[in-house]
């Protein structure tokens, strides 16, 4: 069941990002190709072998960084739909619930959940609160709130990304040797570092650029 939920979250992320950034078909096609490639490799357990040199997971890391850079260079802030992007950020709440379940299944360490050092659940909840405020208070529009909210989002996301990397059974592992982060090498959870994280990073930076230009 958790796999189906996570696949659904991934597809929702793709659709919401597509709608929130100007409906650029080229990016949609590239995203689908990337998801298909990574999904196929992870489905056949390619990334679960962490003893190779260099680590196979480098494909995911290099690919996700490249995707982020490409999106930032390609997308235009004039086409950003702030509300749709906030809906995308609200998916961080169910993602955190999935991570908690993975911890209970001994697939990730506790420190990667909101019971440990993962504060990203705050962003998911607060995104919903901001959306509700925009809906029920038509006059709600505070660039300052959104600016600092996005800054905090980048900080919280960077914390969990670094924690996840240093908890994985890779050459640079520093944490969680008793219960390492093995879930994110498996299908479909590999979509989190390979695709969802780049989308969230990009969304934050694009929104910050939009707010800066509006000020």
Question: Residue 198's closest CA among 51, 53, 75, 52?
Answer: 75
Specify whether the CB–CB gap between 108 and 99 falls below 8 A.
yes
ω into residue 185 within 30 of 0, thus cis? no
Rounded (10°) CA dihedral 142, 148, 153, 155: 180
Element (H, E) at 138: none
Provide the whole-model pTM. 0.95
* pLDDT tens track for 178-198: 999 999 999 999 999 999 999
* pLDDT tens track for 100-149: 999 999 999 999 999 998 999 999 999 999 998 887 776 556 788 899 99
The DSSP result for 154-171, as a single string, is HHHHHHHHHHHHHHSSST
């Amino acid at each position: 069941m958790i796999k189906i939920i996570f696949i659904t979250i991934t597809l929702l992320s793709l659709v919401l990002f597509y709608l929130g950034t100007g409906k650029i078909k080229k990016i949609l096609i590239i995203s689908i190709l990337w998801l298909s490639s990574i999904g196929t490799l992870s489905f056949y357990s390619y990334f679960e072998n962490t003893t190779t040199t260099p680590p196979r997971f480098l494909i995911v890391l290099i690919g996700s960084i490249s995707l982020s850079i490409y999106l930032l260079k390609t997308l235009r802030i004039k086409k950003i739909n702030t509300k749709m992007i906030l809906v995308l950020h609200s998916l961080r709440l169910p993602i955190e619930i999935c991570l908690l379940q993975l911890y209970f299944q001994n697939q990730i360490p506790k420190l990667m959940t909101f019971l440990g050092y993962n504060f990203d659940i705050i962003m998911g909840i607060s995104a919903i609160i901001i959306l509700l405020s925009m809906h029920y208070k038509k006059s709600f529009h505070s660039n300052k709130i959104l600016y600092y909210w996005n800054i905090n989002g980048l900080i919280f996301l960077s914390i969990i990304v670094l924690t996840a990397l240093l908890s994985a059974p890779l050459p640079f592992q520093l944490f969680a040797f008793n219960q390492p982060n093995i879930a994110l090498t498996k299908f479909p959870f590999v979509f989190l570092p390979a695709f969802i994280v780049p989308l969230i990073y990009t969304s934050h930076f694009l929104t910050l650029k939009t707010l800066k230009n509006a000020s």
